[in-house]
């Protein structure tokens, strides 16, 4: 799942409409930024999720008065070819060095650069300056689901990844790739489930979401998506979070809905960064 492409406009979903019209989906999935933008429209039903799975679902899982519940954790960062890279990249700043020129890729939609440019992160000026310096270094623009092009050596590294899970299946198959968090961009964000107020089958939707929170449901989420929720003790992603925090000696910044709402004024900078990265010099 690509967070930069998740949203009501690109998904083709109808969450509301004229009186009597039902939503086209019973459960809506979206990245934190999209959910935060939709919050003011009051499209989603508040649910007492904790009562449906006491002890397992806690305040840490639920946001927006029960309208949104975390389903998986995203750890955007760097994916690189372990055999062909000149060295193991540790930061976004590494890719401004001459060793990487003409050997790296990013997304055409600048995935997660909106987060990078937030005032509570790098800020718009620093992020824009980075994009200007990075643009001449880039050899190509690819989607987050095209990581085989790093495995084959067409590109030696790709960043900023969308969710941090892009290389798991490739690595398991023996491909020479690895994924790490960038030490100058150490964040975690989340995907959320919501039940539209106009859902045709709201009770079934609540059962589905509740099941996804159980250990069995999270195992199925992992098997199908290679992501899960780091809040749970058995989570694969929890191990990655803890390993990153130990390696860098920091606590990952939580980009939940409240953070997104407080840093929602990045669109103009993000649009400019997209233009910078997609304009060939």
- Average pLDDT over every residue of 11-21: 62
Structural domain range at position 172: 78-187+261-272
Does the residue 237 lie in any domain?
yes
Same domain, 105 and 233: no
Q: How confident is the model at residue 21 (pLDDT cuts 50, 70, 90)?
A: confident
How many other β-carbons are positioned within 10 Å of the β-carbon of residue 171? 16
Same domain, 106 and 229: no
Same domain, 92 and 44: no
Whole-number percent of the chain with pLDDT over 70: 93
Tokens 């990075």, located at residue? 134
Same domain, 225 and 235: yes
Does the residue 281 lie in any domain?
no
5 has pLDDT over 50: no
Same domain, 66 and 148: no
Same domain, 167 and 203: no
Same domain, 182 and 121: yes
> To 5 degrees, how large is the angle CA 162–CA 56–CA 196?
60
Does the residue 209 lie in any domain?
yes
10 has pLDDT over 70: no
Same domain, 95 and 46: no
What is the per-residue pLDDT for 171? 95
Mean pLDDT of all residues in the chain? 92
Query: For the chain, how many residues are written?
Result: 281
Same domain, 149 and 214: no
Same domain, 162 and 268: yes
Same domain, 213 and 241: yes
Q: How confident is the model at residue 17 (pLDDT cuts 50, 70, 90)?
A: low
Q: pLDDT tens across 86-137, in order?
A: 999 999 999 999 999 999 999 999 999 999 999 999 999 999 999 999 999 9
Q: pLDDT tens across 134-156, in order?
A: 999 999 999 999 999 999 999 99
| CB under 8 A, 24+ apart: contacts of 140-149 | 140/105, 141/105, 141/106, 141/107, 141/108, 141/277, 141/278, 142/105, 142/107, 142/108, 143/2, 143/107, 143/108, 144/2, 144/4, 144/107, 144/111, 145/2, 147/79, 147/177, 148/175, 149/105
Does the residue 277 lie in any domain?
no
**Are the CB atoms for 77 and 133 separated by under 8 Å?**
no
pTM of the model: 0.89
Q: How confident is the model at residue 18 (pLDDT cuts 50, 70, 90)?
A: low
Q: How confident is the model at residue 57 (pLDDT cuts 50, 70, 90)?
A: very high
Q: pLDDT tens across 161-204, in order?
A: 999 999 999 999 999 999 999 999 999 999 999 999 999 999 99
What is the per-residue pLDDT for 15? 73
Does the residue 154 lie in any domain?
yes
Query: 91: domain CATH number?
Result: 3.40.190.10
d(CA 34, CA 64): 13
2 has pLDDT over 70: no
The answer for residues whose C-beta is within 8 angstroms of residue 206's C-beta and 6 or more apart is 47, 52, 195
Same domain, 68 and 205: yes
Domain count, the chain: 2
Does the residue 28 lie in any domain?
yes
């Amino acid at each position: 799942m690509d967070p930069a492409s998740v949203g009501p406009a690109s998904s083709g979903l109808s969450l509301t409409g004229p009186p009597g019209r039902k939503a086209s989906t019973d459960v809506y999935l979206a990245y934190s930024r999209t959910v935060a933008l939709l919050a003011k429209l009051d499209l989603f039903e508040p649910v007492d999720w904790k009562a449906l799975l006491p002890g397992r679902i806690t305040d840490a899982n639920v946001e927006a008065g029960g309208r949104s519940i975390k389903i998986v954790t995203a750890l955007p960062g760097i994916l690189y070819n372990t055999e062909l890279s000149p060295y193991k990249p540790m930061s976004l700043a590494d890719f401004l060095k001459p060793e990487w020129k003409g050997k790296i890729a990013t997304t055409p939609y600048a995935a997660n650069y909106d987060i990078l440019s937030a005032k509570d992160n790098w800020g718009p000026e620093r992020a824009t300056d980075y994009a200007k310096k990075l643009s001449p270094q880039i050899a190509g623009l690819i989607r987050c689901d095209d990581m085989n092009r790093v495995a084959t050596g067409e590109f030696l590294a790709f960043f900023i990844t969308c969710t941090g899970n892009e290389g798991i299946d490739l690595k398991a198959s023996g491909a020479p790739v690895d994924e790490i968090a960038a030490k100058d961009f150490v964040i975690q964000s989340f995907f959320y489930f919501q039940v539209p107020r106009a859902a045709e089958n709201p009770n079934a939707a609540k059962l589905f979401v509740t099941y996804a929170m159980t250990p069995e449901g999270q195992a199925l989420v992992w098997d199908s998506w290679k992501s899960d929720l780091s809040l749970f003790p058995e989570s694969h992603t929890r191990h990655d979070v803890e390993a990153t925090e130990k390696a860098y000696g920091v606590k990952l910044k939580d980009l939940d809905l409240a953070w997104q709402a407080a840093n929602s004024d990045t669109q103009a900078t993000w649009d400019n960064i997209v233009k910078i990265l997609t304009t060939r010099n």
